[in-house]
Amino acid sequence: MDKRSNTRGGGKFLSALCRILGTVIMIAVILVPLAVLGPRLFGLRAYHVTSGSMEPAIPTGSLVYVRAAQAETLEAGEIIAFSVRGSVVTHRVLENDAAARELITKGDANDREDLTPIPYNALIGRVAVTVPRLGALASSLTTLYGKIFLAAALAVGFLLQLLGTQLAPREEE
């Protein structure tokens, strides 16, 4: 056994650690955007909840996945997403007024129903899934800085993989 193989004996641990960290980082960088974009394949759109009007059912900072729905089919008690002056609001249906083609809604944490009924054409859809705390992360990663962060994290993961390969002890021939 030569001197070089002795000093590289601890290299197995460091090599494995670099490879594992690199793999975990790269998988995370791939999975996080998939959490937002992947559900679109199943007809779901993701929205970040920024207010507490639906707490405790939907905490502030949650990511909600919304599936398109026909307004006529909605029933009292269902949680929906709708557009109001360019913002997306998530509230519970209190009443579906088919004659007026409007939905009467209310946030669970609000004292009274919304002031204005929601016209059918403002409906985005029915909330299908809620994931607490993921909304803020998803929103931040869609910004320019978020995309730069994801690219940098992917590069770090790749470099750790490369470093792990370089640190791996060489088998003697």
Q: Which residues contact 142 (CB under 8 A, 6 or more apart)?
A: 36
Q: According to the model, what pLDDT value does residue 173 have?
A: 46
Separation of alpha carbons 15 and 162, rounded Å: 9
- pLDDT of 97 > 90? The answer is yes
Q: Are residues 32 and 111 in the same domain?
A: no
Q: Is residue 111 part of a domain?
A: yes
Q: Are residues 104 and 156 in the same domain?
A: no
Q: Are residues 72 and 120 in the same domain?
A: yes
**Total of domains in the chain:** 2
**Phi, psi for 105 (deg, rounded to 5):** -130, 165
**CATH at 95:** 2.10.109.10
* Vertex 21 angle, CA 19 and 26, to 5°: 95
Separation of alpha carbons 95 and 75, rounded Å: 7
Q: Are residues 51 and 132 in the same domain?
A: yes
- pLDDT of 112 > 60? The answer is yes
Q: What is the pLDDT of residues 129-172, one digit of tens each?
A: 999 988 888 888 888 999 899 999 999 999 999 999 898 877 54
The boundaries of the domain holding residue 109 are 43-137
Q: What is the pLDDT of residues 78-89, one digit of tens each?
A: 999 999 999 999
Q: Are residues 31 and 47 in the same domain?
A: no
Q: Are residues 90 and 151 in the same domain?
A: no
Q: Is residue 173 part of a domain?
A: no
Q: What is the pLDDT of residues 37-70, one digit of tens each?
A: 788 888 999 999 999 999 999 999 999 999 999 9
Whether pTM > 0.85 for this model: the answer is no
